[in-house]
């Protein structure tokens, strides 16, 4: 199982990378950490005629966790973000939890945040976190310069995003979130892609939930905010039965698809369970 041939470029500046990308048209792929792309190359399911490796492009490997939020360069490795997040008190819990669900340490040492997001695997954890917390993707192209796309608009389907063929995702950012957050998922084995994952955020005064955010992964062709479900508990006092109502609303609000590992009915039902458990976790409301 070896990759098909391709032209390989490793530009040393963003400008150079953008020019290459503009010239090479629809058949070039960007290479970041390669932990999703290279398996596809090895299996020859992906056979781009050219690879543009962002490894030498300066400035994409910095992340900054501050009072005004988190800015993550596209080439920041999951493992290094894991470390910075662990040593910061302002980073949201759900981010820390989601990062630990990405593959295994050996994978997280190579995989990059930009690569993970741009690959847009519907079962992937990070996209759900960015959708839930209202993250922003910064895209750059040679001809049209820089633009920002809200995470919710960025993810468009299986492996499909708002990134135009000539654009590079250079940064992803998360605003600060005033409340508590949690990421909870069910996978068949530790480290597997989630069957269903839930990212939940809420500001809790006593047991009143505000600013509620819920996004799922593994329940459709892309991560989505579940606004109807959020409304069920927005401003409400959290209680066991409220959370059960919420779970029902979540199940009603997702459009999962069956695959080898779980049916759509299973994912629909368990989506509600995951959200309920995530909220139990942050609110302390017992089931």
Partner 1 sequence: MTEARRIRLTVNGRPREVEVEPRTLLSDVLRHHLGLTGTHVGCEQGSCGSCTILFDGAPARSCLVLAPQAEGAHIETVEGLAGPEAEAIRRAMHEAHALQCGFCTAGIVVSLVSALRDGIGQDEAAEQVLGGHLCRCTGYVNIRKAITAAWKQGANP
Partner 2 sequence: MAEITQTFDVSAPTPIVWAALQDVPALVPCMPGAALLQVDGDTYIGRLRVKVGPIAAEFEGTARVVERDEARHRARIEASGVDRRGGNRGSASVEYQLSPVDAGTRVALLADYRLRGPMAQFGRTGLIADMSAKLTREFAECLRHRLGEGTASEPPRSEEEP
Partner 3 sequence: MSPYLGIPVPRLNDDKFLRGTCRYVDDIELPGMLSAAIVRSPVAHGLLRGLDRSAAREVDLVLGPEEVRERTGSVPVAWHLPMQRQLERPLIDERVRFVGEPIGVVVARSPYLAEDGVDAIVPDIEELPSVADIHSALAPDAPLLYPRWGTNVVIELETGDEADTTDVVFADADHVLRCTMRTGRLAGAPMECRGIVAVPDPGTGRITIYTSTQAPHMVKDQVSQILKIPHHSIRVVAPDVGGGFGVKDHIYEDELLVCLAALDVGRPVKWVEDRRESLTVTAQARDEEWDVEVAFDRSGRLRGIRVHGRRNSGAYLSIFGGGPLATTGSTLPGPYRWEAVRLTGQVIVTNTTPTGAYRGFGQPQAVYIRERAVEMVARELLMDPVELRALNMIRPEELPFTTRTHLNYDSGDYPAALRRAADIIRSAPEPPEDGRIRGVGFSSYVESSGVGPTAGSRIVGVQVASYETAIVSMANDGSVRVRVGTCSHGQGHETTFAQLAAEQIGTTPDRISLVHPDTETAPYSPYGTAASRSVALAGGAIVRAAGRLADKLRAIAGELLEASADDIVLQDGEAIVAGTERRVPIAAVAAAGLRGWPVPSGISPGLEESYVHDPDNLTFSYATHACQVAVDPETGLVEIERFVVVHDCGVIVNPMIVEGQIHGGVAQGIGGALMEEVIHSEDGQPLTGTFMDYLIPTTGTIPDFHIEHIETPAPHIPGGMKGMGEGGTIGAPAAVANAIAAALPEVADRLTRTPVTPDLLWHLLQD
Choosing among partner 1, partner 2, partner 3, none, which partner's interface includes residue 6 (Cβ < 5 to 8 Å by kind)?
A: partner 1
Per CB under 8 A, 144 contacts partner 3: no
Burial of residue 47 (CB within 10 Å: 0-12, 13-18, 19+) is middle
Candidate residues 23, 27, 64, 153; the one interacting with partner 2 per rule CB under 8 A: 27
Output the smallest distance, CB 53 to partner 1, in A: 7
x-or-dash pattern for partner 2, window 61-100, by CB under 8 A?
A: ----------------------------------------
Q: Of 7-15, 26-34, 183-191, 205-213, which part binds partner 3 (CB under 8 A)?
A: 183-191
Candidate residues 14, 38, 107, 273; the one interacting with partner 3 per rule CB under 8 A: 273
CB atoms within 10 A of CB 53: 16
Token pair listed for 41: 């190359």
Per CB under 8 A, 25 contacts partner 2: no
Torsion from C-alpha of 280, 284, 285, 287, nearest 10 degrees: 50
Candidate residues 28, 51, 195, 275; the one interacting with partner 3 per rule CB under 8 A: 195
| Residues 6 or more apart whose Cβ sits within 8 Å of residue 60 | 14, 54, 73, 74, 75, 76, 114, 170, 171
First to last CA, the chain: 48
Per CB under 8 A, 241 contacts partner 3: no
- C-alpha angle with apex 99: 180 to 216, nearest 5 degrees? 65
- Which residues inside 18-47 make contact with partner 3, applying CB under 8 A? 39, 43-44
């Amino acid at each position: 199982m070896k990759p098909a041939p391709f032209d390989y470029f490793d530009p040393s500046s963003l400008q150079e990378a953008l020019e290459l990308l503009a010239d090479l048209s629809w058949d070039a792929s960007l290479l970041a950490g390669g932990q999703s792309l290279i398996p596809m190359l090895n299996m020859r399911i992906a056979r781009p005629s050219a690879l543009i490796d962002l490894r030498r492009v300066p400035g994409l490997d910095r992340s900054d966790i501050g009072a005004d939020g988190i800015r993550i360069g596209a080439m920041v490795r999951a493992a290094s973000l894991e470390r910075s997040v662990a040593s910061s008190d302002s980073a949201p819990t759900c981010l820390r939890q989601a990062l630990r669900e990405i593959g295994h340490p050996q994978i997280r040492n190579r995989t990059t945040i930009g690569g993970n997001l741009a690959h847009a695997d519907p079962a992937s954890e990070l996209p759900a976190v960015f959708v839930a917390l209202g993250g922003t993707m910064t895209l750059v192209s040679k001809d049209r310069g820089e633009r920002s796309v809200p995470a919710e608009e960025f993810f468009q389907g299986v492996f499909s995003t708002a990134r135009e063929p000539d654009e590079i995702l250079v940064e992803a950012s998360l605003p600060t979130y005033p409340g508590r957050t949690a990421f909870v998922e069910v996978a068949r084995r530790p480290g597997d892609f989630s069957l269903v994952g839930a990212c939940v955020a809420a500001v809790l005064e006593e047991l009143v939930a505000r600013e509620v955010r819920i996004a799922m992964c593994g329940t459709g062709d892309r991560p989505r905010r579940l606004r109807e479900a959020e409304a069920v508990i927005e401003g409400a006092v959290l209680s066991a039965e409220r959370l059960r109502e919420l779970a029902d609303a979540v199940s009603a609000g997702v459009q999962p698809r069956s695959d080898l590992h779980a049916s759509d009915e299973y994912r629909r039902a368990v989506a509600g369970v995951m959200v309920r458990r995530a909220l139990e976790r942050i609110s302390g409301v017992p089931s």
